[in-house]
Structure 1
Amino acid sequence: MKRITLVALSSLMIMGQVFAQIKPKANSEKSKTMKEAGKTNHYTFSLSDKVTRQEVTFQNRYGITIAADLYLPKNRANEALAALAISGPFGAVKEQSSGLYAQNMAERGFAALAFDPSYTGESGGQPRHVASPDINTEDFSAAVDFLGLQSSVDRNRIGIIGICGYAGMALNAVAVDKRVKAVATTSMYDMSRVMAKGYFDKLTPEERTKTLEQMSQQRWADAEKGTPAPSTNNLPEKLQGNEPQFVVDYFNYYKTPRGFHPNSINSNGAWTATSPLSFMNMPLLTYIKEIAPRPVLLIAGEKAHSRYFSEDAYQAATGQKELMIIPNASHVDLYDKVNIIPFDKLTSFFNEHLKAGKPAPKEKVTAYGSVN
């Protein structure tokens, strides 16, 4: 029982459970009310005086209204810019890491869109706090739809940045969406792999079966009640002192003024208890090789518990690819520590690959410091 609990906690804590146009009218009164109910002016970072931030909404292919913030550099407002769609971490909202990334990339000359995935934050979708490997992949392509319709964007120069659990969805989207010219990830998690196999693939077939049996029974309970039950295995409200370091790191971001946001599931809520079902049945990175010949940049912390996801994705990808290991950095360090997040590298990567006619770089691994 202790082993099952540890595997579930370590692999799924990141999920918080055991296992177009500017401002268009919302597609339903329900989703409109959702955005208004969730509205807050709280951001975990200050707005830069070098950019503008505009609230926008757009719809994905399933008719769900996605809420986002569009960041533009002030000194290039009349220019058609290279653009980036950004989301993550898993269970976070656009006022946290993705917005910080978008602002920093806008300062560097990009149009950058930070969005709340379906069913989370200010975006629409019922029930709340659900994740889907398909729909959340689609959210990235819907963001590309939106960016390609903006006069401030050159639609032939669009890239994607995925953070943490949405990094896997970002790679998944780029595999099928050939409009995207380059993709970068930071602190990547493959959510389908970790839910199907556990952390470091240690979930036994018996443990997997038991988890699926529990969630299968939970579906009947949810159907009878008429609403999905929330998970009970979320970040603690107070540390007891015996938690794994990665849980401490998550807590120190999501549960403290550093990164707390009332709309963030990891700060102030819970995923539904049955959310892992589709992830356990539908591998995200099946077609990662089809990203080629477009370039992939994978960034991970040297000390991140999730580092192996980026390393394995690097091995699985083909063509133009680069793995960058940040010395002494943890998984959560790449959420908001601007002195550690390699924004200069992200800038040079997208400047190079969101231009036409550039030669393809050679495959390489970039490692700084001593990495074993």
Structure 2
Amino acid sequence: MKITALVVLSFFVIGQAVAQNKESIQNKKKMNTTEEHYTFQLSNKVTRQKVHFKNRYGIVLSGDLYLPKNTDQKLLAALAISGPFGAVKEQSSGLYANQMAERGFAALAFDPSYTGESSGEPRNVASPDINTEDFSAAVDFLGLQKNIDREKIGIIGICGFAGFALNAAAVDKRIKAIATTSMYDMTRVMSKGYNDVVTSEQRTKNLEQLGLQRWKDAESGNFASSANNLPEKITGSEQQFVKEYFDYYKTPRGFHVRSINSNASWTATMPISFMNMPILSYIKEISPRPILMIAGENAHSRYFSEDAFKAAAEPKELMIVPNSVHVDLYDRLDKIPFEKLTAFFQNNLK
């Protein structure tokens, strides 16, 4: 299936149906991953508990609830955290939850619908509506816990889930404060490509190809997979952001067997609902609740945060992290401004 070069370069877009190859399996074994593998160390100041909860579509979401030890607070402020797009809770979102729990918050990192340990069939599907709902379902869960103050719940969205977090906050007034890091607007990039360069003719062609793929899926009774999100090897000639994604998802730094970006691929028709459902249409309605947007100075995705910041109403703040790229804000403890995040939520969840 022929598609534009820009779409090919994106690690979450349409491709031809392929089986997981032998090299990927060998790579998984080499990394010696297990179901309990986390890409970070649990803080000795924090406890972690497996939890499950349903969203309003009946999908059972799997999460890890991180709680601070030795706290004298009877009711904790809480955070729901997810992302990046195609990642699992044992990766970046869990790292964030671990750090924020160490700083006194109850923090829930969760796998989105159809991915990781969460339920939903077929596997490896994303939806701007359902993934927005996943955040609200996490708020449901947190607000029912006896040790959490349901009037003090915020959310953190990383990468593609930053866009879903903003969309969730616009519609769900229970969310009191919102932070995003390395934000992607997935509906914008899938519809228009990076930097909005996809023409109307190219968009039409992409939609026609998605329609043809639907016929194939309907005839076979199965949902075909796209090409693997990232190559198994890189040559050095790839675009810089592809190298950066590879360095996180395909090396021991961030590899996880259940992560779509590490070890699998989306369904080929996954982009359909993203193509005409812009998720930031109501971003102004987040106000008067505060927004903190954080982006790397050298991130290829920086413009998403800057544009969303311009569109949002006050109160809002944009923080640019010097000498940082997109994936630095996934796991680099010396780059992620956790003290800024802590102060933001302490000031706004009270």
Please state which band the TM-score falls in when normalised by the shorter chain: over 0.9
Residues 39, 122 of structure 1: 8 Å contact kept: no
Please point out which of 68, 92, 100 is paired with 2:95: 100
Please point out which of 294, 298, 313 is paired with 1:299: 294
Distance in 2 between residues matched to 1:352 and 1:280, nearest whole Å: 37
- How do 1:274-293 and structure 2 match up within 5 A? 274-293=269-288
Distance in 2 between residues matched to 1:39 and 1:124, nearest whole Å: 19
Deviation string, structure 1 residues 2-39 (Cα, Å, up to 9, x no partner): 9x6431134x32x25459xxxxxxxxxxxxxxxxxx98
Shift of 1:77: 7.0
Find the counterpart in structure 2 of residue 239 from structure 1: 234
Distance in 2 between residues matched to 1:16 and 1:86, nearest whole Å: 24
Find the counterpart in structure 2 of residue 34 from structure 1: none
Distance in 2 between residues matched to 1:305 and 1:129, nearest whole Å: 25
Q: Which runs of 5+ in 1 are unaligned?
A: 20-37, 356-372
Shift of 1:234: 2.0
Shift of 1:260: 0.2
Distance in 2 between residues matched to 1:256 and 1:6, nearest whole Å: 25
Find the counterpart in structure 2 of residue 48 from structure 1: 43
Please point out which of 213, 220, 223 is paired with 2:218: 223
SS of 1:57's equivalent in the other structure is strand
Deviation string, structure 1 residues 171-216 (Cα, Å, up to 9, x no partner): 0000010001000000000000001111000001111111111110
Find the counterpart in structure 2 of residue 308 from structure 1: 303
Distance in 2 between residues matched to 1:16 and 1:296, nearest whole Å: 29
* Alignment coverage as a number of residue pairs: 334
Distance 1:302 1:272, change over 3 A: same
SS of 1:75's equivalent in the other structure is coil
SS of 2:266's equivalent in the other structure is coil
Distance in 1 between residues matched to 2:143 and 2:224, nearest whole Å: 38
Q: Which runs of 5+ in 2 are unaligned?
A: 17-32
Find the counterpart in structure 2 of residue 7 from structure 1: 6
Tell me if 1:317 matches 2:312.
yes
Residues 4, 202 of structure 2: 8 Å contact kept: no
AA aligned opposite 1:40: E
Tell me if 1:125 matches 2:120.
yes
Distance in 1 between residues matched to 2:225 and 2:198, nearest whole Å: 23
Please point out which of 342, 346, 350 is paired with 1:347: 342
AA aligned opposite 1:268: N
AA aligned opposite 1:91: G
Deviation string, structure 1 residues 22-80 (Cα, Å, up to 9, x no partner): xxxxxxxxxxxxxxxx9810000111110000000000000000000000000127621
AA aligned opposite 1:6: A
AA aligned opposite 1:305: H
SS of 2:180's equivalent in the other structure is strand
Distance 1:329 1:148, change over 3 A: same
Tell me if 1:142 matches 2:112.
no
Find the counterpart in structure 1 of residue 203 from structure 2: 208
Normalised TM-score (structure 2) = 0.93
Tell me if 1:327 matches 2:322.
yes
Find the counterpart in structure 2 of residue 359 from structure 1: none
Distance 1:45 1:109, change over 3 A: same
Shift of 1:233: 5.2
Residues 13, 271 of structure 2: 8 Å contact kept: no
Residues 68, 105 of structure 2: 8 Å contact kept: yes
SS of 2:344's equivalent in the other structure is helix
Shift of 1:281: 1.2
Find the counterpart in structure 1 of residue 182 from structure 2: 187
Residues 17, 270 of structure 1: 8 Å contact kept: no
SS of 1:250's equivalent in the other structure is helix
Deviation string, structure 1 residues 261-307 (Cα, Å, up to 9, x no partner): 00000000000111100000100001000000000000000000000
Please point out which of 63, 69, 87 is paired with 1:68: 63
Q: Percent identity?
A: 71
SS of 1:118's equivalent in the other structure is coil
Distance in 1 between residues matched to 2:72 and 2:326, nearest whole Å: 34
Residues 87, 94 of structure 1: 8 Å contact kept: yes
Distance in 2 between residues matched to 1:90 and 1:97, nearest whole Å: 10
Please point out which of 153, 157, 160 is paired with 1:158: 153
CA RMSD in angstroms comes to 1.6
